[in-house]
Amino acid sequence: MQRGEVFKRGDSWTARWYERRQRKQKGGFRTKAEAQLFLQDVLSKQRLGVLYAPGHTTGELVETFKGIYKPKVDPVTFANFEYSIKHFLDFLGDDRLLTSIGELDIEALAASMPLPHQRWKGIRSTKQVLSAGVRWKWILESPASGVPNPAPPAPRIRPFQSWSYIEMIEREIHERWRGVPTIATGTGLRPEEWLALHDSDIDLDAGVIHVSRVYTNGVLKPTPKTLGSERSVPIRTLVKGPLTARLEAMTGNIVFPNTNGSYQDLSKFRTRVWHPALAAAGVEKHRVYDMRHTYATFSIAAGVSLFALARRMGTSVEQIDRTYGHLLDSAAESERALLDEFDAPDDWLE
């Protein structure tokens, strides 16, 4: 596919390309950028023919994408997308011609969002809609394709230092929620996952919990299979007792229901149950999610590999390494013991 060229001639810029095997050119552009935009428009018209539509704007692209995307995802995911793509429209305007957007515009958009997490989400959504524009042949190529979009730094984790802290919280947490600290810490489930558990998800005989759904922002939905979140987690001995007691006390099919027997809202659990229990136990503030971090920390200290840990936690090895990889140094002694045990002489060596 020909790309043409632009070059400077005297005080102005010229665009050159081939059309029906004949060389064409147009000069008189004040800047190189003007010549490049003209050339891009010419090449798009050549490539797309009757599909060529130079008049499409950013607003049209986003609205069309939203119309296709909305029925495919849950309301929370769509609301997050709407929020992040707003930066794209606010910065470029909703009447900006798609053919006039260059890579420098996307670089400037990224620079306008100083917060790493905000920038990552904003550019990710921008890449999504512009890639759709390429698929629909509204633009020849995405101006965002070459713009880097590194993931934000992993958040600082604050795991509990030992099981004694979990026991202290267990003694102070409201009786309706007894067992939650031990079960959540001992399985590594996300809060949205253990809040969505049904009794049918728990197989005490096989010793596993099947994770297949999440409850978040008032919406119950399947776990995202593409991320490996649908999985089975082993029930360790420490967890089996509290989990059995919870199942025996159940009156419905939800393992951790609210007072109405429905799914518990995480934010209400956090403010009405979790924080008061920490205060009563004299434990410094921790997020509910820190129980999951504690599971990972204890697992690494016990010598569990990052690969196995990623499978159990329903995420990628890369994400596990990014969040917890720094803990491997402190787990060297446990790792050495495992290797020594494996290397110990056995009958087959005699």
pLDDT of residue 331: 52
Distance, in Å, from the CA atom of 59 to the CA atom of 199, rounded to the nearest integer, reads: 47
Instruction: Tell me whether residue 141 is in a domain.
Output: no
Do residues 116 and 67 both lie within one domain? Answer: yes
Do residues 202 and 334 both lie within one domain? Answer: yes
User: Residues 334, 336, 339, 341: what is their CA dihedral angle, to the nearest 10 degrees?
Assistant: -70
Distance, in Å, from the CA atom of 282 to the CA atom of 165, rounded to the nearest integer, reads: 10
Instruction: Tell me whether residue 143 is in a domain.
Output: no
Distance, in Å, from the CA atom of 37 to the CA atom of 49, rounded to the nearest integer, reads: 18
Contact 327, 301 (CB under 8 A): yes
Instruction: Tell me whether residue 150 is in a domain.
Output: no
pLDDT of residue 336: 63
Q: Which two tokens stand for residue 325?
A: 């990889």
Q: How does pLDDT run across 123-163, given as a tens digit for each residue?
A: 999 999 999 999 988 887 899 999 999 988 767 788 998 99
Do residues 250 and 322 both lie within one domain? Answer: yes
pLDDT of residue 348: 47
Instruction: Tell me whether residue 346 is in a domain.
Output: no
The domain boundary, picked from 135, 153, 177, lies at 135
Do residues 62 and 47 both lie within one domain? Answer: no
Do residues 168 and 100 both lie within one domain? Answer: no
Q: How does pLDDT run across 185-239, given as a tens digit for each residue?
A: 999 999 999 999 999 999 999 999 999 999 988 888 887 655 567 899 999 999 9
Instruction: Tell me whether residue 329 is in a domain.
Output: yes
Tell me how many domains the chain contains: 3
Distance, in Å, from the CA atom of 208 to the CA atom of 315, rounded to the nearest integer, reads: 18
Instruction: Tell me whether residue 189 is in a domain.
Output: yes
The domain boundary, picked from 51, 70, 87, lies at 51
Question: Which contiguous run of DSSP H or E holds residue 18?
Answer: strand 12-19
Do residues 168 and 83 both lie within one domain? Answer: no
Do residues 221 and 299 both lie within one domain? Answer: yes
Residue 102 in 3-state DSSP? coil
Question: Which contiguous run of DSSP H or E holds residue 31?
Answer: none
pLDDT of residue 92: 94
Digits of tens for pLDDT over the chain (350 positions)? Answer: 567 899 998 999 999 988 888 888 999 888 888 888 788 778 777 776 655 656 789 999 999 999 999 888 878 788 899 999 999 999 999 999 888 899 999 999 999 998 998 999 999 999 999 999 999 888 878 999 999 999 887 677 889 989 999 999 999 999 999 999 999 999 999 999 999 999 999 999 999 999 999 998 888 888 765 556 789 999 999 999 999 999 998 888 999 999 999 999 999 999 999 999 999 999 999 999 999 999 998 888 888 888 888 999 988 888 888 777 766 665 556 666 666 666 666 554 44
Distance, in Å, from the CA atom of 138 to the CA atom of 134, rounded to the nearest integer, reads: 6
Do residues 183 and 332 both lie within one domain? Answer: yes
Do residues 326 and 179 both lie within one domain? Answer: yes
Instruction: Tell me whether residue 306 is in a domain.
Output: yes
Do residues 226 and 119 both lie within one domain? Answer: no
* Full residue range of the structural domain in which residue 39 is found: 5-51
Contact 233, 312 (CB under 8 A): yes
Do residues 213 and 119 both lie within one domain? Answer: no
CATH number at residue 274: 1.10.443.10
Do residues 268 and 127 both lie within one domain? Answer: no
The domain boundary, picked from 117, 135, 153, lies at 135
Amino acid letter, 259 = T
Instruction: Tell me whether residue 140 is in a domain.
Output: no
